[in-house]
Structure 1
Amino acid sequence: MDVVIIGAGIGGLALANGLVADGHRVRVLERAPGPRTDGAAVTIFGNGAAAAAGLGVPLDGLGGDVETLEFRTQDGRPFARADLRVARRHTGFGVATVPRAAILERFAGALPAQTVRYGCAVSDPRVGPEGVTVAGESADVLVGADGYRSVVRRAVLDGAPAIRNGWVSWQGLTRSLPELAGDVHARCLVGPAGLCGLMPAGAGLLQWWFDVPASPPDDGAVLAWLRTRFASYAEPVGELLAGLDESDVQPYPHVLHRVPARWGTGPATLLGDAAHAFPPSQAQGANQALEDAWLLRRALGTPGDPATALRRYERIRSRRVRRISRLAASEVTNLPPGPLTRLAGRLLTPALTGRLHLATIRQCSSVLNDDRP
């Protein structure tokens, strides 16, 4: 089968590896002039790690392992703690924070030469009953893995853009707070100003972000604005902000797509944010893209009409991803804890909290449930 994938992000490159291993002819068209090195890090949970391994590109050895995740109030008092080692015991895969560029490098490096074509912007993909035409070339199947502003989504589904909900993550990946960066414990401080997250990302790097429901002043002085906004938060928030430069801070707007049961038409479909962009508050964006790639590979490996296989893939994944999309859209983890949250934090052990978190992930996982299209 001849497959064209639009977008050389995590999901697109992961899918390409799985399809190449199955003997398909694969072309990945990417508008960027070269491999992407922008972006900070992503947290890979057991479902994403299992999907990557199932696609033939395991993420072993990348990033920094995360064994515990602790939530604290703005004054530094803990109110919830999760033991993430539960994931490894139950799935065989742990939790790690991995620089996005490192994942892309591994995925692209595992592909045959010339599989990825950089500097190839696609503006008008055409889909017919018997195949697709992209950039003047024909193919049997088209996969849009080109992000929440997807050209393919507009062509095969609808023109409705992903909607911003007002929240923005101001994030970065730097050599900051070496004691925390070299540890296996992650920390989030949440209060009226928003949430500050701190996660070790390996090799002395720290992934940090500030989730806020407001916009900085028009003068572009984002760092000064963050320092003022989070001035009342306990250390090490102030120490982190004091050591950053303006160029360290990157915006990541929180957007949300409607997640329909059908993601395409004929021999065309979508993957990752092109199908179901949602806020990063549950850290499942990259994991769900890997889940999509894992199940889509299975679907295209079944005999019969590719379009029929794509619709089966979409029905299964849409049911799974709607659950995590709704939870992420609530931004619940970015809000100060209420009385019930504090009570649950006192009653639940870290191990039980870890098991509850894994149960939530399992509900939105195709790979952990061995879904078959």
Structure 2
Amino acid sequence: MQVLIVGAGVGGLALANGLVADGHRVRVLERSAGPRTDGAAVTIFSNGAAAAAGLGVPLDGLGGDVETLEFCTPDGRPFARADLRVLRRDTGYGVATVPRAAILERFAAALPPNTVRYGCPVADLQVRPDGVTVAGETGDVLVGADGYRSVVRHTVLDESPAVRNGWVSWQGLTRALPRLAGDVHARCLVGPAGLCGLMPAGSGLLQWWFDVSGPAPRDRPVLEWLRDRFASYAEPVGELLAGLSGSDVQAYPHVLHRVPTRWGTGPATLLGDAAHAFPPSQAQGANQALEDAWLLRRALRTPDDPVDALRRYERTRSRRVRRISRLAASEITNRPPGVLTRLAGRALSPTLTARLQLARIRSCSSVLNDDDG
């Protein structure tokens, strides 16, 4: 089968690896001129790690392992703690923060030469009952993995675009706070100003972000505004901000799609943010894209009509991803915790907190539930 994938992001390249291993002919069409190096880091939870391994491109050795995750009030007092080692014991896969560029490099390197066609924006996209044509390439199946502004989604669904919900992550991946960057402990401080997250990403790098509701003022530098906004937060927030430059800070607006049950028409479907963009507050965006790729590969292994296989894949994944999309859209982790939340967090052991988190991940996971494609 000839499969055309639009988009050489995490989901698109992961899928390409799985399909090539199954003997399909694959072409990935990417509009950027070369391999993408933009973006900071992503948190790969057990479901994403299991999906990548199942696609033949395990992420072992990349990024920084995260064994504990702590949520604190702005004065630095913890109100919840999760022992993430539980996830590895229960699933065989742990949690790591991995630079996005490192994931893309590993996935691209595992593909046969010339699988990815760079500098190829989507053009002349045609979907017929018996096949597809994109930018002069013909295939039996088309997969849109081209992000939340997906051209493929607009063509095959005619759906409304993803909308911003007012939150923005001001984020970066830098060498900072070596004590934290070299540790296995992640920390989030959340209060009226928003949330500050700090996660080790390996090789001395720290993934940091500030989730804030509302835009930054236009009359002053973003970094100066962040320093003032989070001035009351406990260290090391001030130390981090004092050591950054304006070029270190990237804006990541939070967007949300309605997640339909059907993601395409005929021999065309969607994957990742093209199908179901949602805010990063649950750290499941890249994981869900990997889940999509895992199940779509499994669906296309069957000798049935690929159109039927695509619709089965969409029904299963839409049911799973809709759950985490709703939770992420609530931005609950970015809001100051109420009294009951703080009391419950302190009452639960780190082990039990991690088990509750794993149960939430399982509810949106195809790979951990061995869904049938």
Q: Give the TM bin, normalised by the shorter chain.
A: over 0.9
Alignment of 1:119-268 (within 5 A): 119-219=119-219, 221-268=221-268
Are 2:46 and 1:43 equivalent residues in the alignment?
A: no
CA contact (8 A) 1:68 1:84 kept: yes
Which residue matches 2:304?
A: 304
Are 2:275 and 1:270 equivalent residues in the alignment?
A: no
Which residue matches 2:318?
A: 318
Alignment of 1:105-116 (within 5 A): 105-116=105-116
State the Cα deviation string for residues 285-304 of structure 1 (Å, max 9, x = none): 00000000000000000111
State the Cα deviation string for residues 296-343 of structure 1 (Å, max 9, x = none): 000000111100000000000000000000000000000011011111
What percentage of residue pairs aligned between the two structures are identical? 84
Which residue matches 2:87?
A: 87
CA contact (8 A) 1:175 1:206 kept: yes
For residues 271 and 357 of structure 2, what CA distance do their matches in structure 1 show?
24
For residues 303 and 354 of structure 1, what CA distance do their matches in structure 2 show?
40
CA contact (8 A) 1:131 1:140 kept: yes
State the Cα deviation string for residues 41-91 of structure 1 (Å, max 9, x = none): 000000000000000000000000000000000111110000100110010
For residues 183 and 345 of structure 2, what CA distance do their matches in structure 1 show?
23
CA contact (8 A) 2:124 2:136 kept: no
Are 2:21 and 1:21 equivalent residues in the alignment?
A: yes
State the Cα deviation string for residues 207-228 of structure 1 (Å, max 9, x = none): 0000000211214611001001
CA contact (8 A) 2:143 2:270 kept: yes
Tell me the CA shift for residue 138 of structure 1: 1.4
TM-score (norm 2): 0.99
AA in 2 matched with 1:129? P
Tell me the CA shift for residue 159 of structure 1: 3.8
Local SS of the residue matching 1:355: helix
CA contact (8 A) 2:142 2:268 kept: yes
Structure 1 residues 220 and 268: CA distance shift in structure 2, 3 A: farther
CA contact (8 A) 2:143 2:271 kept: yes
Local SS of the residue matching 2:218: coil
CA contact (8 A) 2:132 2:140 kept: yes
Gap runs ≥5 in structure 1: none
Which residue matches 1:371?
A: 371
Local SS of the residue matching 1:179: helix
Which residue matches 2:344?
A: 344
Deviates more, 1:156-165 or 1:309-318: 156-165
State the Cα deviation string for residues 242-297 of structure 1 (Å, max 9, x = none): 00000000000000000000000000000000000000000000000000000000
Deviates more, 1:238-247 or 1:334-343: 334-343
Tell me the CA shift for residue 137 of structure 1: 2.2
State the Cα deviation string for residues 10-38 of structure 1 (Å, max 9, x = none): 00000000000000000000000000111
For residues 28 and 293 of structure 2, what CA distance do their matches in structure 1 show?
14
AA in 2 matched with 1:100? R
CA contact (8 A) 1:63 1:97 kept: yes
Which residue matches 2:353?
A: 353
For residues 126 and 371 of structure 1, what CA distance do their matches in structure 2 show?
31
Local SS of the residue matching 1:203: coil
CA contact (8 A) 2:184 2:200 kept: yes
Query: Which 4+ runs in 1 deviate beyond 2 A?
Result: none
Gap runs ≥5 in structure 2: none
AA in 1 matched with 2:77? R
Which residue matches 2:118?
A: 118
Local SS of the residue matching 1:310: helix
AA in 2 matched with 1:350? P
For residues 144 and 339 of structure 2, what CA distance do their matches in structure 1 show?
43
For residues 27 and 273 of structure 1, what CA distance do their matches in structure 2 show?
20
Question: Number of residue pairs matched?
Answer: 373
Local SS of the residue matching 1:216: coil
For residues 158 and 7 of structure 1, what CA distance do their matches in structure 2 show?
19
Tell me the CA shift for residue 124 of structure 1: 3.8
State the Cα deviation string for residues 153-188 of structure 1 (Å, max 9, x = none): 001012411010000000000000000000000000
CA contact (8 A) 1:124 1:155 kept: no
Which residue matches 2:100?
A: 100
